[in-house]
Amino acid sequence: MSTFKAPRGTYDLIPPDSATYLAVRDAIAAPLKRSGYGYVETPGFENVELFARGVGESTDIVTKEMYTLTTKGGDQLALRPEGTASVLRAALEANLHKAGNLPVKLWYSGSYYRYERPQKGRYRHFSQVGAEAIGAEDPALDAELIILAHDAYRSLGLRNFRILLNSLGDATCRPAYRAALQDFLRGLELDDDTRRRIDINPLRVLDDKREAVQKQLVGAPMLGDHLCEACKEYHEQVRELLTAEGVAFEDDPKLVRGLDYYTRTTFEFVHDGLGSQSAVGGGGRYDGLSEMIGGPALPSVGWALGVDRTVLALEAEGVELDLPSATSVFAVPLGEEARRVLFGAVTGLRRAGVATDFAYGGKGVKAAMKAANRSGARLAVIAGERDLAEGVVQLKDLESGEQTAVPLDGLVEAVSARLG
């Protein structure tokens, strides 16, 4: 056992569990790849100011949860707490928006970091798959992203998730609502930290999960009652497009999410089998974020889905993914000459696309066959001196126990036929 352990609130992904995480990532990415989204990868750390401006200086993410560091050169950096600001920064830096083909559609996958109180389903290091459509204001784009996430979850076998939907308005209608909400909140009995939020970003008070706060929010003005006609029409088009495609959703007038950059469409995927930490992913439209970080006006929309949260949702529903075995064939040499010959045969099988492993370490027959069974392989290739003298190897079905001799030079074809 090592002297060191993973830092508190983090986890290691190791086999066999890691195969489930990879399958979830692939399933979420698959509909994005079919819909014109290209892959982007950004650094694990960025300038602190990128997140302070983009995510919002009043948010818990920036004020309490960011991991920050100072380089030897004096630069202030932060481990990325979310993906959108980094992806938009990368797109602007590469001038993707100037290529003339908007929206720029990107997807990404990686680890993110927030200093939170560790609990089941809430870690300080977590994995997400995200998607961003940059540079277009279109209800169909909002609906597309929600549908793609919905279809990804369905493809995994998830059924008991819900989609919460709201509109946060825009610069035209939100100021009047903000003033009305501030007047209401100032009449409540709130702690000092929450009162400070009233002046900085009163919508964040609506997102407070504490029961004592939620009880007082009964009767609070709702943004939906203050939307301008353009925002109402935009939101209704998103709703109609989702309904037309058979995607069920629930209107949630209190849904604001924890980031300051959202405008108009905002949504969240929740799973009731996860207890109080029910969110598995979410996103929304962020039409002003580009200007916040020094770019041109680029209306955009995106989401991020938690891989670890999705795995927990699968477990809550008892869904077991049909994962391919890491090994289809296991080679067992009997003697040094067989070891040399079968090593070459293993290389040939791998080059032919067959997942193949080898009995390393000079194991005896019994130990090697145990290793073959533990590997999950369907077939074992066994060879000794007599087999090699006859130019054959033994191909054994590890499920039925049936064993047949096949020509060594025809091994790839024989294995491919057996595996179908």
- Domain edges within the chain: 17-173+227-317, 329-419
Q: Is 67 annotated as a binding residue?
A: no
Q: Is 261 annotated as a binding residue?
A: yes
Q: Is 281 annotated as a binding residue?
A: no
- Separation CA 179–CA 182 (nearest Å): 5
Q: Is 348 annotated as a binding residue?
A: no
pLDDT reported for residue 420: 82
pLDDT reported for residue 260: 66
Spatial CA neighbour of 159 closest among 272, 263, 264, 71: 272
Q: Is 76 annotated as a binding residue?
A: no
Q: Is 257 annotated as a binding residue?
A: yes
Q: Is 49 annotated as a binding residue?
A: no
pLDDT reported for residue 221: 86
Mean pLDDT by 10 residues, the chain (420 residues): 87 91 97 97 94 71 83 94 95 93 96 86 90 97 98 96 94 85 87 82 79 86 88 97 97 78 91 86 93 93 96 95 90 94 96 95 88 92 94 94 94 92
- Separation CA 331–CA 420 (nearest Å): 19
Q: Is 204 annotated as a binding residue?
A: no
Fold annotation for 17-173+227-317 = BirA Bifunctional Protein; domain 2 (3.30.930)
pLDDT reported for residue 259: 62
In this chain, the answer to whether the domains covering 17-173+227-317 and 329-419 adopt an identical fold is no
pLDDT reported for residue 57: 60
pLDDT reported for residue 60: 65
pLDDT reported for residue 212: 85
**Residue that the structure tokens 């889905």 belong to:** 305
CATH classification of 329-419 is 3.30.420.480, yes or no? Answer: no
What string of H, E and C letters represents the secondary structure of 80-96?
CCCCHHHHHHHHHHCCH
Q: Is 132 annotated as a binding residue?
A: yes
